[in-house]
Amino acid sequence: MRLTRVFIDTPLAGQSRVMLPEDGGNHLVRVLRLAVGAPLRVFDGHGGEYDATLTLIGKRNVQVELGAHHAIERESPLQVTLLQGLSRGERMDMTLQKATELGVTAIRPVLARRSNVKLDADSTPRKLAHWQAVVTSACEQSGRNRVPQVLSPLDVGAACAATDATLRLMLAIDGARPLPLLLTEAGPVRHIALLVGPEGGLDEAEEAVARRAGFESTLLGRRVLRTETAPLAALAALQTLAGDFGLHQDAVDL
């Protein structure tokens, strides 16, 4: 039976009863209509997950009692940091949500010149909190017990310079080489940075900056993919070629 999963942003080891976050508690009792005694799973992002039982439903507080800890990991052996050009509203949300489902390790929003979204000192914290909530929800749904971090937005040059990935890839058309060839040449690699432009793509100067930072151009097929499609296709390909797709897995215990 698939159990409802809730992320709790506090260490759970050693605790017996905990209050759920307000949003998570409201979702359980007002949307899912769970009652006292309902079983669920909770996780704190530090690995594994706990059995839990709903024990108290108050006007503002929802409490669970923790049970056994299960050292379950559903992470890919491949670490991918997605450097994603900012896109509008639902497009960016979908990209973050699906990238999380596909196993991305971290996401860095990139302030590209052709981005249609502009951030300032007031809007950035709100956007980061919203994006992190999207990622957390995707972990609850997909079974991941480690939550990818949404890093502070940077421009293309700063974002490229900030990564320590072994293999650095940029989705581009000009001078691009097939992804399988690049992975073969790189040999065994565990940490990859993937740079994807916004709706209008990266401009020539930004691509040049990325290449100087060690990013190699790669292309997915013969068609031009939208900014919300390209990273998901690339992540699926990376997981197939070097990650956890296609490997024998034990039955997922949700």
Chain segment 54-83, per-residue pLDDT in tens: 999 987 789 999 999 999 999 999 999 999
Chain segment 183-196, per-residue pLDDT in tens: 999 988 899 999 99
Q: What is the CATH number of the domain that holds 107?
A: 3.40.1280.10
* 103 and 142 Cβ atoms separated by less than 8 Å: no
pLDDT at 112 over 90: yes
pLDDT, position 249: 47
Mean pLDDT across the stretch 79-92? 93
Considering the domain architecture, whether residues 17 and 102 belong to the same structural domain is answered as: no
Domain span at 238: 79-242
Residue 191 lies in a domain: yes
- How confident is residue 1, by pLDDT bands cut at 50, 70 and 90? low
Last residue of a domain, one of 48, 70, 92: 70
- Per-residue DSSP letters for 58-75? -SS-EEEEEEEEE-----
C-alpha span between 211 and 218 (Å, rounded): 12
pLDDT, position 173: 76
Considering the domain architecture, whether residues 96 and 217 belong to the same structural domain is answered as: yes
pLDDT, position 60: 79
